[in-house]
Amino acid sequence: MSKRILVVDDNYANLKLASDVCACEGYLVDRAIDADTALEAISAHTPDLVLMDLALPGMDGVALTRHLRTLEATRDVPVVALTAFAMKRDEDRAREAGCDAYVVKPIDTRALPALLADLLARRSKKAETVENALPQ
C-alpha cells in the first residue's frame, strides 16, 4: 500500500515541485494551500507524512504543526518543515513545534526522497515496536 503525503504550501510552484517529487517516488499526494485546507485534507485521509511550509497565510506552519501534535490521528505523523528561512533560530522554532526535519528552499529534489523514505521507515519501525509490545 502506498504511503500518503500531505504537501502544505501557499506558493503554487513550491507546492507543485514538492508534490511532483513525492508522486514520482510512488507516494499518494494530497495538497493544501493553508492550514484550513490542510486540516480538511487530514480529516479526509490521515497522511503518513506532512511536508509543511512554515510561512502560511493565517495560521502559520509552526502553529499548525503544534496543533497536529495535539490530535490523536496526527500526533506521531512525521512533519518536515519546508522553508525559505535559513536562520538557526527558525530551525529551532520549527523543531520545538514538533517538526522532525527541516528543509530549506529551494528543495534539493535529489535529497528529499531519501529523507522522506528514512522518516517513513522510522515511523513504521516505531509502530511495529509498539504493536509487538502490546499484550496478545
Question: What is the model's pTM?
Answer: 0.92
Which amino acid type is present at position 36?
A: D
Query: What is 81-123 written as a DSSP string?
Result: EEES---HHHHHHHHHHT-SEEEESSP-TTTHHHHHHHHHHHH
CA distance 56 to 76: 22
pLDDT at 85: 75
pLDDT at 23: 98
Cα–chain center distance at 24: 17
- What are the angstrom distances between the C-alpha of 76 and each of 27, 43, 72? 19, 15, 8
Radius of gyration of the chain (CA): 14
pLDDT at 14: 95
CA distance 68 to 99: 10
Buried b or exposed e, range 55-68, using 16+ CB within 10 angstroms: bbeeebbbebbebb
Q: Which domains does the chain have, with CATH numbers?
A: 4-130 (3.40.50.2300)
Question: What cell was used for 37?
Answer: 485546507
Alpha helices by DSSP H, listed for 7-80, are 12-24, 35-44, 61-70
- Ordered per-residue pLDDT tens for the chain, 136 residues: 699 999 999 999 999 999 999 999 999 999 999 999 999 999 999 999 999 999 999 999 999 999 999 999 999 999 999 998 777 788 999 999 999 999 999 999 999 999 999 999 998 887 766 555 556 6
